[in-house]
Structure 1
């Protein structure tokens, strides 16, 4: 269980006893072989040292790296190499071993490939020998640890806090794994059409059925040799006997009630993670629930994700509408000839319009250039008179219109006007199919944000396989081949991509059935090719897979093409 909930589950007397023990920790650490019980506050302090490299005093942890003097530990926090879950990593030929209590306080054997121990690499750590290793880099067997491992001159008190947290870290399997079954759920809100819901559920449900069929085959009486071969090849049992379950959590009504609905679903059936899911509303209530429960949420289909630099538990395919706004800002800031132009954004007061405006404003502020924001009521019309009024008499204005197809008639009327803006920017995702209906007279001065890959996906033997283009075809493609918004086909394609990602993630999980480890292994995976977004990847702290957007322009003519005016703006 998350340690944040521990405090509520112990009585006042026990809490007082734990607080007293915490005060005696420095005296106990030198003599005891097992860490004293840690209070929730002690665990929080140990976690801060581990994850942030910050001591309880607020000072940075100091780290000594070979060839360097003492450096701030914030640059060498334990999480940087051992990962948030503590299960370790392997990167660029550097093996970082697991440092959870379950591993540290047992002996470590050298293994044959067949899995039989032939010698002991080191005996189990004790509190004292672990603190010594952290400080000096020498393990209980007297071996000097790798130079890639910094040495940390911790005080007795801080060392005990860190060791206490390591004993807690990934000390038991997360909720949602029991009886050799990993339980997952997917969240779908009631605004999603039935055909889109079915398109998403089809591939991911089929994946679970196939995985369980495989598990039953490996568990059969005559499958021992096949199972052993799979375990030896993959160094885990995921591909052999572990089963999966998938529940569908349907959220209904006002989003203000979603949290309570999620609480009820989770109370009845704690799951290991949420996978996928779809909503055309703001994902924020689901995101917050996942943060509170320390519950991973993998690749929900939403154009309105939560934008956060600190939240951990949801991995999004992209930043949605926000990403288009931020890419537009970076593109305009990069055009020096526009530096003196007046920049105005007209913002429809809808979730989509506000997300576009927030992305633009957040990134525009980095250029320290003025910006005028004009709100537009959710149902107010967009007229030529309104556009002329906000643009003013200055024809050099740059006007961002964060509204949908209803703005096109006004742009058509404005196209031949004397006071028309020099440049207009629109969102192709918000326009949808109306992108192809931009008035011809306005196309020369209209740019579009286009957050999708220019490598289209065509059905091929049941999967979405990328089609390769060369030369000019990579720059301009027929409109029938380009995605403009979500729907049945994109939901199905993203569900298939999710199934492929889960297959690799569960193999890499290596029987470490801890939620943080699930996200750690996804963060360590190589980039994947995703429908709509092209190359998608998650680093150790990256929560958004696709991190760019094209700026494009619609050609003139009856069968226009979208032409790239920028690279993949990030």
Structure 2
């Protein structure tokens, strides 16, 4: 079957010889970025292109970023390799990327792909590739490559933008060593720091390439070093502290991270810093990922209390497991001094409003109000009616303080945040258990410890680090180990073509088998920024210490 060559090509090639048509570089690069990332032309009209069999694609579906990625370093679509198109690579003859040499049976010779044999691209070659699907060596390109309808100024704009994409020079890479960082809080307990930052540092040091002939020759992945950044007790100052730390020692990425005494403290100022600075922030351990903000540079195990809020908004709009109609009023009890507690309550109210749920959300009751919080909350719980729902965003200590006063009314519908309880189910008093439900973001209770001990325990024991007896500490150990394996794999595959966007793209290619987490499944993909979006609802059964699933898991948006 003959490939269709767009009729604009001869005229376009002639126009490209006229330098007067080239837009000034800044304006051209801005238009090129718009075409590349959004598939949108200067007048706002969608970019048009033809695929095989005459299929037309347009707009975002035709945008270069869909296959060549934000970094311009490409990757793969199915079994087809998508080549890099950053300016420096286009300006040089084709070459094999690191790790792309396939094994060949004895006696056979591998024929390199056309992209590895081509000469360098000039503007005319680029125009021909974009509009007719012919590469710089005169060969037909893969059918995956669209044939675009572009004028000369647009080709020049794309060319200008591709030359703004660079790899090999990025913050945190000095040409010899690649610098990474992890975060701990000044108030984080020493045993928690050791479980998280200590495990991470030992694992990354072990996985780092060794300085040697490859590093000296500028081939292979560079060695890396991990810095421990300690943030003060006041989250309001973290933005300035992070700026100062980054200025003193630039890093490519933040790996893992713990704040607060138990490692589950505030995180939103760090998340905001990462997104604002374009700094990859990989698998922090905290529960308060704010999904109201775009997540481009933050990759989380899950969204924590934001995911719980989404699941609760979905569940509260339906009859419950006992067949009772959805509640007409929602009460929430929070700890205002706790970031995750505040975020969960705010997110649930927003989700219910966005869904148009016919439930009136009362102002939250603050357990941190001096003298009145716990007493007011228990007085209301004692008189709760069947048409009300209560969601308690409380940690184990706060729940114990409330439970010491009394128990809710027998008909009360009470939901506890399993994420705030951090798996400490013993904090739920027996007198509460009949009418309490919990949200849960991890593997089924009873299986989580076995999963972590199996997947991370072997590495811990082989490095003279006993798996922690405390389930919360064991999860921190295992998740630090997982963050190490994920980061090390991506860094090695990235090689010396260092870039922050390129690093995130290699992270997205991670496989579930490479992780040792409390999640039942670890799934990533293009632009996916949470490894799991699954949520269980749990209930207590008589005679059992741990709750059991109450129905099938939810996967809320």
Query: Within 2, Cα distance between the matches of 1:142 and 1:513?
Result: 30
Give distance in 1, aligned partners of 2:194 and 2:80.
44
1:401 aligns with 2:392: yes
CA contact (8 A) 1:46 1:163 kept: yes
Work out whether 1:78 is the aligned partner of 2:64: yes
User: Which runs of 5 or more residues in structure 2 are unaligned?
Assistant: 1-12, 104-108, 460-467
Which residue pairs with 2:49 in the alignment? 63
Aligned to 2:428: 438
Work out whether residues 86 and 165 of structure 2, in 8 Å CA contact, stay in contact via their aligned partners in 1: yes
Residue 456 (str. 1) matches residue 448 (str. 2):
yes
Cα RMSD between the aligned structures?
3.5
Is the contact made by 2:287 and 2:419 (CA closer than 8 Å) also made in structure 1? no
Partner residue of 1:22? none
Instruction: Pick closer, same or farther for the CA change 1:168–1:433 going to 2, 3 Å.
Output: closer
In 2 relative to 1, CA 343–541 (structure 1 residues): closer, same or farther, beyond 3 Å?
Answer: farther
Look up the match of 1:447: 437
1:164 matched to which residue of 2?
160
Within-5 A mapping of 1:76-115? 76-109=62-95
Distance 1:184 1:290, change over 3 A: same
- Looking at structure 1, the residues matched to 101 and 297 of structure 2 have their Cα atoms a distance apart, in angstroms, of 37
1-structure distance, mates of 2:439, 2:101: 55
Task: Check the 8 A contact 1:457/1:464 in 2, yes or no.
Answer: no
Which deviates further from its counterpart, 448-457 or 345-354? Answer: 345-354
Flag the 1:251–1:132 CA change in 2: closer, same or farther, 3 A.
Answer: same
Distance 1:353 1:288, change over 3 A: closer
Equivalent-residue separation in structure 1 for 2:80 and 2:405 (angstroms)? 57
Larger mean CA deviation between 539-548 and 338-347 belongs to: 338-347
Are the structure 2 counterparts of residues 173 and 149 from structure 1 closer, same or farther at C-alpha, using a change threshold of 3 Å?
same
Residues 530 and 489 from structure 1, CA distance in 2 versus in 1: closer, same or farther, beyond 3 angstroms?
same
Deviation at 1:447, TM superposition (A): 0.8
Aligned to 1:464, the other structure's residue is in SS state: helix
Q: Deviation of residue 319 (structure 1)?
A: 0.7
1:222-259 C-alpha deviation (Å, 9 max, x unpaired) = xx8xx99xx9xxxx722xxx211111111114222212
Equivalents in 1 of 2:49, 2:382: separation in Å? Answer: 60
Q: Does 1:237 align with 2:220?
A: yes
Q: Is the Cα contact below 8 Å between 2:522 and 2:532 reproduced in 1? A: yes
Deviation at 1:184, TM superposition (A): 0.8
Matched with 2:309 is: 325
SS in 1 for 2:476: helix
Q: 1:456–1:395: structure 2 CA closer, same or farther, 3 Å change rule?
A: closer
Aligned to 2:341: 353
Select the residue among 254, 259, 277 that pairs with 1:279: 259
Judge which range, 513-522 or 323-332, deviates more.
323-332
Partners of 1:508 and 1:74 lie apart in 2 by 28
Which position in structure 1 is the counterpart of 2:145?
Answer: 149
Asked if 1:490 corresponds to 2:488, the answer is no
Structure 1 residues 189-229: Cα deviation after superposition (integer angstroms, max 9, x where no partner): 223112211221222221243245x514x54xxxx8xx99x
Q: 1:357 to 1:67 in 2, by over 3 A?
A: farther
Corresponding residue number in structure 2 for 1:364:
352
For the residues of structure 2 that align with 1:56 and 1:66, how far apart are their CA atoms?
Answer: 26
Match of 1:7? none
1:73 is displaced (CA, Å) by: 2.3
Q: How far does residue 134 in structure 1 lie from its aligned partner after superposition?
A: 1.2
The residue that corresponds to 1:542 in the other structure is: 528
Which residue of structure 2 aligns with residue 254 of structure 1? 234
Kindly state the Cα deviation for residue 87 of structure 1 after the two structures are TM-superposed. Answer: 0.8
- Counterpart CA distance in 2 for 1:399 and 1:324 is 14
**Separation in 2 of the partners of 1:497 and 1:76?**
36
Indicate how the Cα distance of structure 1 residues 439 and 259 shifts in structure 2: closer, same or farther if over 3 A, else same: closer
8 Å contact 1:357–1:402 — kept in the other structure? yes
Distance 1:109 1:269, change over 3 A: closer
Once structures 1 and 2 are overlaid, which stretch shifts more, 129-138 or 59-68?
Answer: 59-68
CA contact (8 A) 1:324 1:359 kept: no
What is the alpha-carbon distance in structure 2 between the residues aligned to residue 123 and residue 92 of structure 1?
26
Q: How does 1:374-413 map to 2 (within 5 A)?
A: 374-377=363-366, 378-379=368-369, 380-381=373-374, 382-387=376-381, 391=384, 394-404=385-395, 405-406=399-400, 409=403, 413=407
Confirm or deny that 1:521 pairs with 2:510: no
Displacement of 1:101: 0.9
TM-score (norm 2): 0.81
C-alpha spacing 1:395/1:449, structure 2 compared with 1 (3 Å) = same
Tell me the alpha carbon deviations over residues 512-568 of structure 1, each in whole angstroms, 9 at most, x when there is no partner: 2111110001112223543222322322111122212211011223x4231101333
Aligned mates of 1:148, 1:162 — CA distance in 2: 19
Q: 1:433 and 1:501 mapped to 2: Cα distance? A: 25
1:133 aligns with 2:129: yes
Between stretches 277-286 and 444-453, larger displacement belongs to 277-286
TM-score, normalization by structure 1: 0.79
| Aligned mates of 2:44, 2:276 — CA distance in 1 | 25
Mapped to 1, the partners of 2:381 and 2:453 lie a distance apart of 46
2:408 to 414, 418, 437: 414
CA distance in 2, matches of 1:354, 1:523: 30
Q: 1:181 aligns with which of 173, 177, 181?
A: 177
Q: CA 1:502 to 1:137, structure 2 compared with 1: closer, same or farther past 3 Å? A: same
Q: Structure 1 unaligned runs (5+)? A: 1-25, 467-479
Query: Using the alignment, how far apart are the partners of 1:497 and 1:319 within structure 2?
Result: 17
How far residue 169 of structure 1 moved from its aligned partner, in angstroms, is: 0.9
Distance 1:46 1:565, change over 3 A: same
Q: Deviations over 1:134-171 (max 9, x none)?
A: 12212222222222111221233232222211111125
Structure 1, 80-89 or 361-370: larger mean CA deviation: 361-370
Q: Is the 8 A contact 2:440 2:537 kept in 1?
A: yes
